């Protein structure tokens, strides 16, 4: 089974079990979910004027929870949500009918920014090398559709050993920072100073 199909099946089962909630996208609560959104949003919050208008792709949007976070931001953002889980998209379209959702990022024109929250965490039984290759391929895809920049988060290899789980992937933050610096832009930030077992990387062009 393709990695994408495994991921879609995993999250489809989660949202069918828990519905359009943080648990439905495999997070443990809204507080940590919003903290992630804030750090990912620094890709545009730190550079765009408060009245700026721009487009954004939410890659792996789930049921669209990022839209609730965006209500607190005084920007005019043209939002597109992308997810490979059909049940997730069904919830998203029902919850946010005024916004655009789809399952193929290549079906849309490039956006100014792309964010991806949690899409690289659940590797299930996929080996480390294959999963890292999948991450690299996905980052190239995100780079191709992002005109001004993109951001993503990953569980950190610096997590306490007793809390690690076999079905999750814990990345070396310095290695992914170097990969992004080498392949995408000289303007790359690594955020590893917030109280979650993960890090955020911001790439600006």
- CA 168 to chain centroid, in Å, comes to 15
Question: What pLDDT does residue 11 have?
Answer: 74
Question: What pLDDT does residue 114 have?
Answer: 98
Q: Whole-angstrom Cα distance, residue 84 to residue 97?
A: 18
- Number of domains, the chain: 1
Domain CATH code at residue 194: 3.40.50.150
> DSSP state, 99?
S
Question: What pLDDT does residue 46 have?
Answer: 87
Look up the domain containing 113 and give its range. Answer: 3-204
Beta strand extents in 92-131 (DSSP E only): 100-102, 111-116
pLDDT in tens, the chain (205 residues): 798 888 778 777 776 776 666 565 555 667 888 899 999 999 999 888 876 799 999 999 998 999 999 988 878 899 999 999 998 899 999 999 999 999 999 899 999 999 999 999 999 999 999 999 999 999 999 999 999 999 999 999 999 999 899 999 999 999 999 999 999 999 999 999 998 999 999 999 9
Count of other CB atoms within 10 angstroms of residue 68: 14
Question: Which residue, among 118, 71, 79, has the nearest Cα to 97 in the 3D structure?
Answer: 79
Going by DSSP bridges, is the β-strand pair 53-59/111-116 parallel, antiparallel, or unpaired? parallel
């Amino acid at each position: 089974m393709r990695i994408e199909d495994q991921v879609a099946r995993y999250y489809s089962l989660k949202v069918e079990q828990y519905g359009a909630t943080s648990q439905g996208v495999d997070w443990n609560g809204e507080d940590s979910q919003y903290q992630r959104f804030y750090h990912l949003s620094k890709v545009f919050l730190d550079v765009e004027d408060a009245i700026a208008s721009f487009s954004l792709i939410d890659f792996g949007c789930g049921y669209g929870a990022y839209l609730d976070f965006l209500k607190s931001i005084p920007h005019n953002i043209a939002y597109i949500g992308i997810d490979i889980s059909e049940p997730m998209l069904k919830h998203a379209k029902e919850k946010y009918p005024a916004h655009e959702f789809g399952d193929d990022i290549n079906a849309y024109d490039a956006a100014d920014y792309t964010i991806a929250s949690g899409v690289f965490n659940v590797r299930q039984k996929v080996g480390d090398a294959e999963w890292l290759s999948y991450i690299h391929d996905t980052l190239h895809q995100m780079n191709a559709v992002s005109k001004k920049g993109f951001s993503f988060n990953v569980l950190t290899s610096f997590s306490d050993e007793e809390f690690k789980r076999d079905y999750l992937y814990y990345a070396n933050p310095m290695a992914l920072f170097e990969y992004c610096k080498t392949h995408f832009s000289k303007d790359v930030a690594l955020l590893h100073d917030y109280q979650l077992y993960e890090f955020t990387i911001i790439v600006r062009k």
